[in-house]
C-alpha cells in the first residue's frame, strides 16, 4: 500500500489527519483521493474540483515526482510508493 504524507497546513481543516504517514489501499491517484475522502470526509473537496481534477493550489507527488495526469488522476500507485499531498502557498 502507498504511504501518504500531508503538510501541516491541512490540520487546520482536518485535525485528525495522520501526520506521520498513512498507509492506504489505492492503485491510482484517483482511487487514493476517494480512499482519503472515505477516511476523512470532505478532504476530496479540498484536493479536487467538481470535475475530479486536482485544484490549482494542490500538488500530489509520488516518489518525489509530481503526478502527470492532473485532470483524470490516472497515475498508477504501487505498494511501497510514497505520496506527498501539498498545497501551494502564496502571499506577500
Dump pLDDT digits (tens) for 69-91: 999 999 999 999 999 999 876 65
- CB 88, CB 57: distance < 8 Å: yes
How would you class 48 by CB atoms within 10 Å of its CB: exposed for 0-12, middle for 13-18, buried for 19 or more? buried
The pLDDT, as a whole number, for residue 91 is 58
pLDDT in tens, 2-29: 999 998 888 888 999 988 899 999 999 9
Find the mean pLDDT for residues 42-54.
96
Rounded Cα distance between 10 and 77, Å, is 22
How would you class 16 by CB atoms within 10 Å of its CB: exposed for 0-12, middle for 13-18, buried for 19 or more? exposed
pLDDT at 92 over 60: no
How would you class 25 by CB atoms within 10 Å of its CB: exposed for 0-12, middle for 13-18, buried for 19 or more? exposed
- CB 60, CB 29: distance < 8 Å: yes
Could you tell me the pTM of the whole model? 0.91
Q: Please, what are the domains in the chain? A: 3-87 (3.10.20.30)
Amino acid at each position: 500500500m502507498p504511504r501518504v504524507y500531508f503538510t501541516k497546513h491541512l490540520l487546520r481543516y482536518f485535525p485528525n489527519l495522520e501526520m506521520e504517514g498513512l498507509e492506504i489501499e489505492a492503485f491510482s491517484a484517483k482511487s487514493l483521493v476517494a480512499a482519503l475522502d472515505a477516511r476523512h470526509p470532505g478532504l476530496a473537496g479540498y484536493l479536487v474540483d467538481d470535475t475530479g481534477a486536482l485544484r490549482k493550489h494542490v500538488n500530489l507527488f509520488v516518489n518525489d515526482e509530481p503526478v502527470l495526469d492532473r485532470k483524470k488522476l490516472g497515475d498508477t500507485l504501487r505498494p511501497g510508493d510514497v505520496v506527498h499531498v501539498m498545497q501551494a502557498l502564496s502571499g506577500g
